[in-house]
Amino acid sequence: MEPILITGTGVVSAIGLNKAETLEALLSGKSGVGQLRYLKTEHKEFPVGEVKLTDAEMRERLGIPQDAVTTRTALMGMLALGEALEEAQLTKDMLSKVGFISGTTVGGMDMSEQFYLDYIHNEAHKEYIKVHDCGSCSEMTANHFGKFAFTTTLSTACSSAANAIILGANMIRCGEADIVVVGGSECITKFHLNGFNSLMILDTEPCRPFDATRHGLNLGEGAAYIVLESAESAKRRGVTAQALLSGYGNACDAFHQTASSPDGEGAYRAMSEALQLAGLQPSDIDYINAHGTGTPNNDASESQAMIRLFGENVPPVSSTKPFTGHTTSASGSIEAVFCILALQNGFLPVNLNWSQAMEDGILPVSQPTKKELKHVLCNAFGFGGNDSSLLISKVPELVEGPTKNDGASTGSATCYILSAKQISLQQPLTEAWMQEPIEYDVPFTRSIDPSFKEYVSPIEARRMGKILKRALATSKEALKEAGLDTVDAIITGTGYGCIENTEFFLDALSNDGEQMLKPTYFMQSTHNTISSLVAIQTKNHGYNVTYAHKSISFDSALQDAWWQFKLGKINTALVGGHDEMTETFYHILKKGGVMGHDDEMCGESAVSIVISHKPLHQVVEPVETPLQNESALRQAHGPQILCKLTGFQMLHQPTTDTMQDSLARMLQNAGKSLADVDYILTGISGDHGNDEAYLKETKLLFGGKPLLKYKHLFGESFTSSGIGLYVAAQCLKAGRVPAALFVDPKEVNDKQPKCILLYNRTDGKNVSLTLLEA
Amino acid sequence: MDELIYTLKQQIIEALNLEDMTPEDIDENASLFGEGLGLDSIDALELIVLMEKNYGIKLKDPSQGKEIFKSVAVMADYIQKNRTK
C-alpha cells in the first residue's frame, strides 16, 4: 500500500497530559503507575496508571461547565483530540470533511456503575443514562470540537483503538475521505477493575511484562488520537507528516474468550499481514511495541508469535505498559503515539521492571537506548483474540512524499447477498408470513427463539447469554444457506452489546459489593464477545471486528465490509447486527429517553447476512466488469442469491443538501437514477416526534415514492437496520412486498420490486442509505 | 463427607450453570477438567469464587486450582481441611 501520512497526534495517559510530558517520561523511564487515587473502589491493593486529573479538573481545562453531562472516557478523549487537531492544523470549519473513528468498550460505565441503583429506583441522575453506551462517548468527544462528517465506534476490547486506526486507513485508501481522526479512549472503572480481578489477572505489584516473575497486569487509562491524511491533502494544506502508517493487520486468534493461544496464531497473522501490506520483510523491523500486558498467558503467547515470525532475529521489543498500565481500549492508539515519538526522537522505549528472562520468551529492551528507527510494529490484542498490528514508519528524508494514488480506490464494491437469517419478534419470512405477519402491541417484547441445542452443545451454551446464542444460530444458518464453511471477515454491530451479563455484573457490584464477582458475567459483558465467539465457533482466523455506535452499529459493520470489498481486501463477509434487551435495561433506557417513546415497540434483533463480492470459485482478476461478475456468481450460487447491494453511504448530521448530493452520487455510481427506485424502506418506529420529521425529510428527498416500514412488526432495537436489510432482501427475492409493510395502505400494490432503497435515520443525526437491487 | 460432596456437586451445578445436570450425573472421582466434565479456565475461576463464597477459602493464584480441582472428591477433601466457614 501507499503509506498514509500521520499529520497530528495527541495523547493523555498516566505519564502525561500531552506529548511533551509523555516524551519526557518515556526518555527518563518515569512510570505513571502508582497507588489508586481517583477511582472510588475498595480495591486499593492494585497499582493503577491513572490520568492525574479529576473529572472536574478536566472539565475546567476544556472549558466545559461543571454541571454538564460528561463521562471520564469522553473528557480524556477531548484532551487528546484537541492536541491532535491542533497539531494537524484542523480548525472547526474544516471538520465537516473529516471523519472521526474512536475505540472504546467502557463508554459511560463510570457513571452507570455509580448511578445504577438510581437508574432503577428513582429519577436521580437519569440524564446520564443516554451516555452509557460507547457511541455516545465518541459523539460527545467529537462534538466538543465541531461537526465531523462521519463518526463511528469500534469496540474490540483492548484492540479497539488499533482497529479504529485500521478502519480510518481503509477509509482513506478507498477514497472515502482525505482526513480521518482515529484512536480511542478509556477510563478505569470499578466495573472492569473488578472484572479483571475476577479473572485473576491483576498484579498487586507493578507489572513486569516478559519477566519470569510476571503475575498479571496493572490497569491504566487514557486516550490518544492520530490524524491520518492522504498525501495529496497534506500537500494541499501544507502540513508535514510526523510519521507514516505503512501497514496494518487484523486477525482473530479464534481460540478462547479470555486467553490467547499457546502459539499466538492471531498475533502472528496480524503482524505478518501488516508486513505484507507494507511490502516489508521481518528484517526491516527495527522495534516492536508489544501488547505485553504482563499476564503469564499474553506474554508467553505473544513471544511465540514473535519468535515464529522473526526466528532468531527478533528485533528489540518492549512493552510500555509498566509506564501507563494497560490502557485497554485506548492502548492501540496510545502506544502508536509512543512509537511515533520513538521514530521521531530515535530511541527504544524501555521495558520497565524487567529483570529475569522468562522461559521461551523474548528478551525485552531493559535499558533506555538511543537508536535510529525506520519501521516499527505496534501490537494491540483484545479478548476473544481480536488481534491487530500496526506498522509505522519514519518519514523518509529527501523524498518528495508519496503522491500517486493507491489504485485501490478504483474498484467497485457492488456485492451479492447470498443469505440472510434473523431472530426477532417475527418468525422467518415464509410465504405464510408474507400474507399475514404476526402483530404485537406490547411496548417491550422479547424475540422468538429457536431451540439452540441444534447450534450449540449444552456445555458450551451454559455460559452464553441469549445475544450470543442468537448470533451463533443466525451466523451458522446464514453460512449454511450460503454454502460456505468460512468467510474472509466477520464484522458485527451491536448498539448496547451484551446487556444481560452487564446487568448481572452491575447488580452484583451494586448490591453485593466488590468481592467474589463472577468471571463469567464479566467475560460476557464486552461487546466483541459476539464477533469473536462466532470466529471461535467457526474456527475463523480472518478479519474480525465489532462496532458499537448506537443505531448505526449494523450500518457501520456493513460499511466496513463495503470499503474492504472496494479495496479488494476481502471477498466474503459475515455481517451481523445483534442486540438484546432485559426488562431492567428497557425501563432504564425508557427513563433516559433512549427508547420506548410513544407507540415505539421495542424488541430485540439478531441478523446475520453473508455477502460475497466476487464469485467464489473465480480468482480475483484485476479487470472485471460487474456483469461478468454477476453472471459467474449467479452460476456458482444459483438461486441462493437474495439480491445485489449496489450502493451504501453513511452520514453524520447531514444537511438536506449533503443528503441530496450523497444520494445522487450513490445512484450515479450504481448506474441508476431515482426513477429506478421502486420503494423506500424507512425505519420509522412509532416515536411520533421523530417519525414526523423523518417522513417529512423522506418525502422531500424521494418525492412521491411509495414508503415502506418494518419496525412496527419487528420492533425497534439498536441494530434493527440489519432487519431492514433482511426484509428488503426477502422482498426482492420473493418479487413482492407484503401489504403490511406499506406506510400508507392506499399505496399497497402488486408491483414486482426491482430496486429498494433503505433510508435509516436516527434522530436526524446519523443517516445511512443502502441500495438493493433484484 | 458424603454430605459435603453432595452439597458441593449442587453448588458446582449452580455456579457453572450446568443446566441439565443433577448431582447424580457427576462422578466425584472423575476429573473435572479435560476428559471428565470438560471444564475450562473460566470454570476454574468460578470454582475459586465458589470456595470463597461458601467456605471462606481464598486462593491467591489460579494455578493452585490445578491440584485442588482434580475431582469433586479432591475438592471436598481440600475444603474440609481448609474451610473457615
Residue A22 and residue A220: Cα distance in Å, rounded?
Answer: 15
- Establish if B62 touches chain A: CB-CB under 8 angstroms: yes
Q: Are strands A222-229 and A179-186 parallel, antiparallel or unpaired?
A: antiparallel
Residue A477 and residue A481: Cα distance in Å, rounded?
Answer: 6
* Domain-located, residue B75: yes
- Which has the higher per-residue pLDDT, A333 or A408? A333
Residue A320 and residue A353: Cα distance in Å, rounded?
Answer: 10
Contact residues, chain B, for A257 at CB < 8 Å: 42
* Predicted local confidence at residue A478, as pLDDT: 95
Q: Say yes or no for a CB contact (<8 Å) between B42 and A516.
A: no
* Domain-located, residue B24: no
Residues above pLDDT 70, as percent of chain A:
95
Measured between CA atoms, how close is B6 to chain A, in angstroms?
A: 21
Which grid cell sits at A451? 431451540
Count Cβ atoms within 10 A of the Cβ of residue A513 and give its class: 0-12 exposed, 13-18 middle, 19 or more buried.
Answer: exposed
- B81: alpha, beta or left, given left = phi > 0 and alpha = psi -120 to 50? alpha
- Establish if A463 touches chain B: CB-CB under 8 angstroms: yes
> Which segments of A63-217 does DSSP mark as H helices, in order?
72-87, 109-121, 134-143, 160-173, 190-198
Q: Say yes or no for a CB contact (<8 Å) between B42 and A257.
A: yes
Q: Which helix (H) or strand (E) holds A369?
A: strand A369-370
- Report residue A110: phi and psi, to 5°: -60, -35
* Predicted local confidence at residue A398, as pLDDT: 54
B11 lies in which domain range? 2-18+30-82
Q: Say yes or no for a CB contact (<8 Å) between A199 and B45.
A: yes
> Which of B17, B48, B62 comes nearest A462 by C-beta?
B17
* Domain-located, residue B38: yes
* Predicted local confidence at residue A638, as pLDDT: 54
Mean per-residue pLDDT over chain A, rounded: 93
Query: Nearest-CA residue of chain B relative to A516?
Result: B49
* Predicted local confidence at residue A403, as pLDDT: 45
Q: What is the CATH number of the domain that holds B48?
A: 1.10.1200.10
Q: What is the DSSP string of A286-349?
A: -EEE----S-HHHHHHHHHHHHHHHTT-PPPEE--HHHH-B-GGGHHHHHHHHHHHHHHHTEEP
Query: Nearest-CA residue of chain B relative to A199?
Result: B45
Q: Residue by residue, what is the 3-state secondary structure of A374-396?
A: CEEEEEEEEHHHEEEEEEEECCC
Q: What is the pLDDT of residues A733-759, one digit of tens each?
A: 999 999 999 999 999 998 999 999 999
**Domains of chain A with bracketed CATH:** 4-396 (3.40.47.10), 412-497+548-773 (3.40.47.10)
* Predicted local confidence at residue B20, as pLDDT: 82
Nearest CA to A314 out of A346, A336, A349, A287 is that of: A287
For A278, the 3-state DSSP assignment is helix
Q: Say yes or no for a CB contact (<8 Å) between A519 and B45.
A: yes
Query: Nearest-CA residue of chain B relative to A522?
Result: B42
Q: What are the Cα distances from residue A247, in Å, to A4, A52, A375, A378, A711?
A: 9, 33, 10, 11, 41
> Residue A620 pLDDT more than 70?
no
Q: Say yes or no for a CB contact (<8 Å) between B16 and A518.
A: no
Q: Is the dihedral of CA A453, A454, A456, A457 positive or negative?
A: positive
Number of neighbours of residue A89 by Cβ within 10 angstroms: 13
Residue A686 and residue A600: Cα distance in Å, rounded?
Answer: 4
- Establish if B20 touches chain A: CB-CB under 8 angstroms: yes
Q: What is the pLDDT of residues A442-484, one digit of tens each?
A: 888 889 888 888 888 888 888 899 999 999 999 999 999 999 9
Nearest CA to A134 out of A581, A545, A548, A579 is that of: A548
Which segments within A539-636 are labelled E, that is strand?
543-547, 572-579, 605-612
Query: Nearest-CA residue of chain B relative to A216?
Result: B61
Q: Say yes or no for a CB contact (<8 Å) between B41 and A256.
A: yes
* Predicted local confidence at residue A763, as pLDDT: 73
Query: Nearest-CA residue of chain B relative to A204?
Result: B60
Residue in this structure with the C-alpha cell 408470513, named with its chain if needed: A433
Name the band, by pLDDT with cuts 50, 70 and 90, for residue A618. Answer: very low
Residue B10 and residue B23: Cα distance in Å, rounded?
Answer: 6
Which segments within A590-736 are labelled E, that is strand?
605-612, 643-652, 679-682, 707-708
Q: What is the pLDDT of residues A108-139, one digit of tens each?
A: 999 999 999 999 999 999 999 999 999 999 99
Name the band, by pLDDT with cuts 50, 70 and 90, for residue A617. Answer: very low
In sequence order, what are the beta bridge partners of A49? A220
Q: What is the pLDDT of residues A560-615, one digit of tens each?
A: 999 999 999 999 999 999 999 999 999 999 999 999 999 999 989 999 999 999 86
Contact residues, chain A, for B17 at CB < 8 Å: 462-463, 520
* Predicted local confidence at residue B40, as pLDDT: 86
* Domain-located, residue B65: yes
Name the band, by pLDDT with cuts 50, 70 and 90, for residue B51. Answer: very high
> Residue A626 pLDDT more than 70?
no
- Establish if A258 touches chain B: CB-CB under 8 angstroms: yes
Q: Say yes or no for a CB contact (<8 Å) between A258 and B41.
A: yes
Summarize the confidence of residues A626-631 as an average pLDDT. 57
List of residues 6+ apart from A153 with CB closer than 8 A: A101, A102, A103, A104, A134, A135, A137, A138, A164, A547, A548, A549, A556
Q: What is the DSSP string of A233-244?
A: HHHHHT---SEE
Q: Say yes or no for a CB contact (<8 Å) between B61 and A200.
A: yes
Contact residues, chain A, for B69 at CB < 8 Å: none
* Domain-located, residue B23: no
List of residues 6+ apart from A563 with CB closer than 8 A: A167, A170, A171, A174, A176, A413
Residues above pLDDT 90, as percent of chain A:
86
Q: What is the pLDDT of residues A26-78, one digit of tens each?
A: 999 999 999 999 999 999 999 999 999 999 999 999 999 999 999 999 999 99
Measured between CA atoms, how close is B19 to chain A, in angstroms?
A: 7
List of residues 6+ apart from A284 with CB closer than 8 A: A275, A374, A375
> Which of A459, A517, A519 comes nearest B42 by C-beta?
A519
- Report residue A753: phi and psi, to 5°: -75, 135
- Report residue A772: phi and psi, to 5°: -120, 140
Q: What is the pLDDT of residues A214-233, one digit of tens each?
A: 999 999 999 999 999 999 99
The lowest-confidence range among A161-165, A662-666, B58-62 is B58-62
- Establish if B73 touches chain A: CB-CB under 8 angstroms: no
| A537-553 core/surface letters (b: 16 or more CB in 10 A; e: else) | bbebbbbbbbbbbbbbb
Could you tell me if B28 and B73 are in contact, meaning their C-beta atoms sit under 8 angstroms apart? Answer: yes
* Predicted local confidence at residue A764, as pLDDT: 66
Residue A250 and residue A170: Cα distance in Å, rounded?
Answer: 12
ipTM of the complex: 0.93
| A467-495 core/surface letters (b: 16 or more CB in 10 A; e: else) | bbbbbbbbbbbbbeebebeebbbbbbbbb
* Predicted local confidence at residue A434, as pLDDT: 83
- Establish if B46 touches chain A: CB-CB under 8 angstroms: yes
* Domain-located, residue B51: yes
Q: Are strands A543-547 and A679-682 parallel, antiparallel or unpaired?
A: unpaired
Q: Say yes or no for a CB contact (<8 Å) between B20 and A518.
A: no
- The structural domain count of chain B equals 1
B11, B14, B42: which to substitute to probe chain A, counting the most A Cβ within 10 Å?
B42
> Residue A12 pLDDT more than 80?
yes
* Predicted local confidence at residue A308, as pLDDT: 98
Measured between CA atoms, how close is B9 to chain A, in angstroms?
A: 16
Nearest CA to A493 out of A443, A406, A559 is that of: A559
Q: Say yes or no for a CB contact (<8 Å) between A256 and B61.
A: no
Range A504-508, long-range pairs (CB < 8 A, 24+ positions): A505/A191, A505/A194, A505/A195, A506/A112, A506/A113, A506/A116, A506/A191
Q: Say yes or no for a CB contact (<8 Å) between B41 and A518.
A: no
For A752, the 3-state DSSP assignment is coil
> Residue A548 pLDDT more than 80?
yes
B14, B41, B48, B55: which to substitute to probe chain A, counting the most A Cβ within 10 Å?
B41
In sequence order, what are the beta bridge partners of A180? A99, A228
Residue A479 and residue A55: Cα distance in Å, rounded?
Answer: 47
Count Cβ atoms within 10 A of the Cβ of residue A556 and give its class: 0-12 exposed, 13-18 middle, 19 or more buried.
Answer: buried
Q: Is the dihedral of CA A147, A149, A154, A158 positive or negative?
A: negative
Q: What is the DSSP string of A123-147?
A: STTGGGGGG-SHHHHHHHHHHTT--
> Residue A295 pLDDT more than 60?
yes
Residue A474 and residue A339: Cα distance in Å, rounded?
Answer: 41
Measured between CA atoms, how close is B23 to chain A, in angstroms?
A: 16
* Domain-located, residue B25: no
> Which of B18, B37, B49 comes nearest A518 by C-beta?
B49
- Establish if B56 touches chain A: CB-CB under 8 angstroms: no
> Which of A199, A458, A463 comes nearest B20 by C-beta?
A458
Measured between CA atoms, how close is B17 to chain A, in angstroms?
A: 6
Query: Nearest-CA residue of chain B relative to A215?
Result: B61
Nearest CA to A466 out of A609, A578, A601 is that of: A578
Residue A537 and residue A280: Cα distance in Å, rounded?
Answer: 33
* Domain-located, residue B46: yes
Residue A477 and residue A608: Cα distance in Å, rounded?
Answer: 9
Summarize the confidence of residues A150-170 as an average pLDDT. 97
A residues 191-210 closer than 8 Å to B (CB): 198-200
* Predicted local confidence at residue A422, as pLDDT: 95
Query: Nearest-CA residue of chain A relative to B50?
Result: A516
Summarize the confidence of residues A351-362 as an average pLDDT. 97
Q: What are the Cα distances from residue A270, in Å, to A336, A350, B35?
A: 15, 24, 33
Number of helices (H), then strands (E), in chain B:
4, 0
Which grid cell sits at A139? 459523539
Number of cross-chain residue pairs from A and B with Cβ atoms under 8 Å apart:
40
In sequence order, what are the beta bridge partners of A485? none
Q: What is the pLDDT of residues A317-330, one digit of tens each?
A: 999 999 999 999 99
Q: What is the pLDDT of residues A684-726, one digit of tens each?
A: 999 998 999 999 999 999 988 999 999 999 999 999 999 999 9
For A682, the 3-state DSSP assignment is strand
- Establish if B3 touches chain A: CB-CB under 8 angstroms: no
Q: Angle, to 10 degrees, between the axis of helix A109-121 and the axis of helix A583-591?
A: 100
Which grid cell sits at A226? 492520530
